[in-house]
Amino acid sequence: MTAFFGGDRGRVDPQLAAGNRRTRMHYARDVNDERALAFEDRPPVRRGGHWTLLAVLVVVLAVLAVAGSRDGDEVPLAADCDTSAIGVSSSVVTAGTVLRYRLTGPDDASYVVTLDGEAVRGDAGSTVTYTATPAGPALRLRQCLSPTLALAAPAGDGPHELALLRVAGDGTTEQLTAVTVTVEGTR
């Protein structure tokens, strides 16, 4: 007897296989199954390896799809534990699309990001935890670098300032750096 996915291949009892073949041929002669009788002397065709190949192909394509989509979303910014900086995916974005950005700086402080002076919360799934501060939602960097954060680009055309503020223990803030992002209307 073989397993459902061919797991017993290579462990077939030759006497059992011969007995099963004799029984099949006996039944084929009884019902005059000419097709089975015609293939009596030929070895059986081994099938079933295509499922393994298909499974491997699906796994490879899934890994490539995930890796390809993540690489396209990453904002290139090197970790710098001495100097704070903001990296953006593009300095020109269309209104309402996703603006991706990344932060770097010392990892011993809390940071608030503002867009045109208003505190914003970038989305990075569950990889970022925000704490409430008087200046707005604050995050801490891990190993001096944030994951790629996403927020909706503002609707107003023209330049907009994305700023990084350090939050002190007493709740006061200090602007460390800023970048200008130009928003264009939909085409």
Instruction: Return the pLDDT at 101.
Output: 92
**C-alpha to C-alpha distance for 173 and 81, rounded to whole angstroms:** 19
Q: Are 133 and 167 in contact (CB under 8 A)?
A: yes
The structure's pTM equals 0.59
Phi/psi of residue 137, each to 5°? -65, 125
Instruction: Return the pLDDT at 71.
Output: 46
- Give me the residue label for tokens 């059986």: 44
DSSP 98-166: EEEEEEES-TTSEEEEEETTEEE--BBTBT---EEETTEEEEE-BTTBPPPEEEEPPSS-EEEEEEEEE
Q: How many Cα atoms occupy the beta-carbon half-sphere of 96 within 13 Å?
A: 3
Query: For the segment 130-170, what is each residue's pLDDT rounded down to a tens digit?
Result: 888 888 999 999 999 999 999 988 888 899 999 999 998 88
- Give me the residue label for tokens 């002397």: 41
**C-alpha to C-alpha distance for 104 and 82, rounded to whole angstroms:** 9
Question: Domain locations in the chain?
Answer: 14-73, 85-184
Query: What is the CATH code of the structural domain delimited by 85-184?
Result: 2.60.40.10
Residue ranges in the chain whose pLDDT is less than 70: 1-10, 43-48, 66-73, 186-187
Query: For the segment 164-181, what is each residue's pLDDT rounded down to a tens digit?
Result: 999 988 888 999 999 999
Instruction: Return the pLDDT at 45.
Output: 67
